């Protein structure tokens, strides 16, 4: 068999099933450009829906509350004062093992029963309890709780509203952890679920899901390479040269050839970058130098340095804004409060932003928060000193590593950015001379490390974000130019794949009919 014949047969028979996947990937990709990922409860949405913090009901200081619970006083972990089950409470630690102590009585939160869970859901939606219907207790991940397996069990409720809202309440934490609507569920079925194979039976088995995506992406790369190779092999320049005479195909097959030659390049880069997102190679998982969590804080918070919150102290600071929660922080060895309050503006932008922000970046520049000194109860608006931040970073470095460059960025660079401009600015960028040439980004307003990005992360940024979202500075932020470009390229790839699929199905039909005629003759 000749090389050209081998290329044709390989591309034909691999293309029949893979063209279906290509169509699904490109259609769902267009949906994800605007709909974001899976339904989730974002932090802005949670704060917006939270009850106002009732400081008049607070009777205990953080130390007194910690003594009532099973809390390690020397290192209580993240500590937040918020409303829990309609009462102010301190939450020490995070995740499933967090300890919640009510600030009015010192009682420890016990898992909620169904009536109290229903009340939590009703307060979240500001809706009467008789319009909240219990559906079931989720003990195994369902379609919408695939990433919440550690939070199970959850009580699932359905609201009697026009949006078809469904809520998942954690009885352990007495709070809503996920909200979906009829629209968000439908959009997920059109976008994220088929795009990333987020089907529950497959997704709950991590190894099987991982290799399914990797193998499918790898086969897609092979198909795209075969198609591009055929584009070269099947091109026969005529003399004198005429493009129409140089292409041996006619009709719709000619269109498949032309579209494949142009859009096959982008198909290859998209499928390859999708493969890179799964980190199939060990080098993408390399760990560079990382500073400890307390490098800029000075250590764990000291509860004794925080007094009981008084409404009179906070009234002037908030200036009429509605206080929702207070987090205890230690920054530069000093105690601070981070107050979060209700603010206007859309609350769903974070969901869309998640798909357009490099994954090593944590933290958001939330408009509804205020940093307050716990000693003077005065708001701090100025950023922390660059010299102090650099001094602490230098002190935490091992002797063989050094800071080789630092710069306070007033705007994003190629590795620290967000489309919705939600990552904090300004940001201090610090470059190290460790073997992987790590860059560290620090939010000076909270003296918090928000990203460690080493050399291989920067390579992966271009292999995934760059190629998959066409995330290049010269047009990524220029809308609707970026939207039009991606949609045109996606539609071209969809038409190319659809033509190939139709021809493939027709060929299978012809082969089956020939086989049937032979069988009848026999």
pLDDT in tens, 137-171: 999 999 999 989 889 999 999 999 999 999 999 99
Rounded Cα gap, residues 336 and 4, in angstroms? 70
| Strand segments (E) across 195-297 | none
Is 60 exceeded by the pLDDT of residue 93?
A: yes
Phi, psi (5° rounding) for residue 410?
-90, -10
Query: Which pLDDT score, from 0 to 100, does residue 360 have?
Result: 66
pLDDT > 90 in the chain, percent: 57
Is 70 exceeded by the pLDDT of residue 473?
A: yes
Give the mean model confidence (pLDDT) for residues 111-120: 95
Rounded Cα gap, residues 104 and 89, in angstroms? 7
160 three-class SS:
coil
Q: For the chain, how many residues are written?
A: 522
DSSP state of 412: -
501 Cβ contact list (under 8 Å, min separation 6) = 15, 16, 19, 20, 23
What tokens appear for 239 in the block?
A: 């003399």
Confidence of residue 8 (pLDDT cuts 50, 70, 90): confident
Phi, psi (5° rounding) for residue 285?
-105, 10
Rounded Cα gap, residues 388 and 112, in angstroms? 45
End-to-end CA, the chain = 29
Query: Which pLDDT score, from 0 to 100, does residue 347 have?
Result: 46
Whether the Cβ atoms of residue 159 and residue 132 lie closer than 8 Å to each other:
yes
Q: Residue 302, Cβ neighbours under 10 Å: how many? A: 18
What tokens appear for 318 in the block?
A: 């908030």
pLDDT > 70 in the chain, percent: 93
């039976």: which residue's tokens? 201
Radius of gyration of the chain (CA): 28
Whether the Cβ atoms of residue 141 and residue 148 lie closer than 8 Å to each other:
yes
Lowest mean pLDDT among 80-84, 206-210, 236-240, 467-471: 236-240
Query: Which pLDDT score, from 0 to 100, does residue 509 have?
Result: 83
Query: Which pLDDT score, from 0 to 100, does residue 420 have?
Result: 72
Rounded Cα gap, residues 512 and 502, in angstroms? 15
Give the mean model confidence (pLDDT) for residues 194-222: 93
Give the mean model confidence (pLDDT) for residues 129-140: 95
Give the mean model confidence (pLDDT) for residues 36-45: 86
Mean pLDDT, the chain, integer: 88
Give the mean model confidence (pLDDT) for residues 96-100: 85
Helix count and strand count (H, E) for the chain: 17, 14
Tell me the per-residue pLDDT of 475-512, one tens digit each, with 9 for 90 and over: 777 778 888 999 999 999 999 999 989 988 888 888 88
DSSP state of 58: -
Query: Which pLDDT score, from 0 to 100, does residue 418 have?
Result: 81
Tell me the per-residue pLDDT of 321-371, one tens digit each, with 9 for 90 and over: 899 999 999 999 999 999 999 865 444 444 444 444 555 677 666 668 899
Phi, psi (5° rounding) for residue 236?
-120, 95
Query: Which pLDDT score, from 0 to 100, does residue 184 have?
Result: 93
Rounded Cα gap, residues 374 and 390, in angstroms? 24
Whether the Cβ atoms of residue 174 and residue 35 lie closer than 8 Å to each other:
no
* DSSP element (H, E) containing 440: strand 439-443
Rounded Cα gap, residues 454 and 169, in angstroms? 38
Whether the Cβ atoms of residue 257 and residue 483 lie closer than 8 Å to each other:
no
391 Cβ contact list (under 8 Å, min separation 6) = none
Rounded Cα gap, residues 80 and 464, in angstroms? 36
Tell me the per-residue pLDDT of 46-78, one tens digit each, with 9 for 90 and over: 899 999 999 999 999 999 999 998 888 888 999
pTM: 0.87
Is 90 exceeded by the pLDDT of residue 466?
A: no
Rounded Cα gap, residues 41 and 350, in angstroms? 10
Identify the residue with better confidence: 243 or 277: 277
Query: Which pLDDT score, from 0 to 100, does residue 100 have?
Result: 95
Identify the residue with better confidence: 313 or 177: 177
Torsion, Cα of 297, 430, 354, 426 (10° steps): 80
Lowest mean pLDDT among 198-202, 415-419, 457-461: 415-419
Query: Which pLDDT score, from 0 to 100, does residue 241 have?
Result: 63
Torsion, Cα of 12, 16, 17, 22 (10° steps): 100
Give the mean model confidence (pLDDT) for residues 234-245: 67
Confidence of residue 238 (pLDDT cuts 50, 70, 90): low
Query: Which pLDDT score, from 0 to 100, does residue 2 have?
Result: 78
424 Cβ contact list (under 8 Å, min separation 6) = 363, 364, 365, 443, 445, 446, 450
Q: Residue 457, Cβ neighbours under 10 Å: how many? A: 20
Rounded Cα gap, residues 499 and 170, in angstroms? 49
Query: Which pLDDT score, from 0 to 100, does residue 389 have?
Result: 95
Is 80 exceeded by the pLDDT of residue 18?
A: yes
Rounded Cα gap, residues 467 and 463, in angstroms? 6
Query: Which pLDDT score, from 0 to 100, does residue 243 have?
Result: 60
68 Cβ contact list (under 8 Å, min separation 6) = 60, 101, 106, 107, 108
Identify the residue with better confidence: 116 or 254: 116
Torsion, Cα of 168, 169, 175, 180 (10° steps): 10
Is 60 exceeded by the pLDDT of residue 412?
A: yes
Confidence of residue 295 (pLDDT cuts 50, 70, 90): very high
144 Cβ contact list (under 8 Å, min separation 6) = 38, 39, 166, 168, 178, 180, 185
């Amino acid at each position: 068999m000749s090389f050209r014949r081998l290329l044709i047969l390989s591309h034909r028979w691999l293309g029949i099933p893979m063209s279906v996947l290509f169509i699904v990937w490109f259609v769902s990709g267009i949906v994800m450009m605007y709909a974001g990922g899976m339904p989730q409860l974002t932090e802005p949405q949670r704060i917006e829906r939270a009850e106002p913090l009732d400081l008049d009901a607070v009777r205990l200081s953080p130390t007194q509350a910690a003594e009532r619970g099973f809390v390690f006083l020397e290192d209580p972990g993240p500590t937040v004062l918020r409303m829990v089950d309609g009462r102010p409470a301190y939450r020490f630690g995070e995740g499933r093992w967090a300890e919640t102590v009510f600030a009015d009585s010192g009682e420890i939160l016990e898992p909620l029963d169904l009536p109290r869970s229903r009340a939590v859901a009703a307060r979240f939606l500001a809706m009467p309890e008789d319009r909240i219907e219990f559906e079931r207790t989720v003990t195994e991940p369902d379609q919408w709780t695939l990433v919440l397996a550690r939070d199970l069990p959850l009580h699932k409720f359905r609201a009697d509203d026009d949006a078809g809202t469904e809520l998942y309440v954690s009885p352990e934490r007495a709070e809503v952890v996920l909200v979906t609507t009829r629209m968000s569920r439908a959009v997920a079925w059109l976008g994220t679920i088929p795009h990333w194979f987020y089907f529950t039976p497959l997704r709950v088995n991590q190894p099987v899901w991982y290799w399914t995506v990797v193998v499918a992406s790898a086969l897609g790369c092979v198909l795209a390479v075969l198609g591009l190779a055929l584009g070269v092999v099947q091109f026969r320049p005529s003399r004198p040269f005429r493009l129409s005479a140089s292409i041996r195909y006619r009709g719709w097959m000619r269109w498949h050839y032309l579209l494949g030659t142009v859009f096959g390049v982008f198909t290859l880069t998209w499928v390859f970058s999708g493969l890179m997102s799964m980190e199939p190679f060990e080098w993408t998982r390399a760990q560079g130098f990382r500073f400890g969590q307390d490098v800029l804080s000075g250590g764990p918070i000291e509860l004794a340095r925080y007094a009981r919150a008084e409404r009179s102290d906070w009234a002037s600071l908030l200036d009429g804004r509605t206080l929702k929660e207070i987090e205890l922080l230690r920054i530069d060895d000093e105690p601070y409060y981070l107050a979060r309050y209700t603010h206007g503006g859309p609350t769903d932008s974070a969901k869309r932003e998640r798909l357009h922000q490099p994954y090593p970046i944590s933290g958001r520049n939330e408009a509804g928060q205020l940093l307050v000194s716990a000693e003077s109860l005065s708001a701090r608006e100025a950023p922390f000193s660059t010299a102090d931040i650099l001094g602490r970073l230098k002190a935490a470095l091992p002797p063989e590593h050094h800071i080789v460059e630092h710069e306070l960025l007033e705007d994003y660079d190629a590795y620290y950015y967000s489309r919705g401009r939600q990552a904090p600015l300004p940001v201090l960028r610090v470059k190290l001379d460790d073997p992987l040439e790590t860059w560290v980004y620090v939010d000076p307003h909270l003296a918090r490390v928000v990203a460690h990005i080493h050399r291989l992360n920067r390579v992966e940024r271009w292999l995934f974000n760059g190629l998959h979202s066409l995330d290049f500075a010269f047009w990524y932020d220029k809308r609707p130019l970026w939207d039009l470009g991606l949609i045109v390229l996606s539609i071209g790839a969809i038409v190319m794949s659809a033509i190939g699929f139709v021809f493939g199905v027709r060929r299978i039909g012809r082969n089956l009919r020939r086989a049937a005629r032979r069988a009848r003759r026999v």
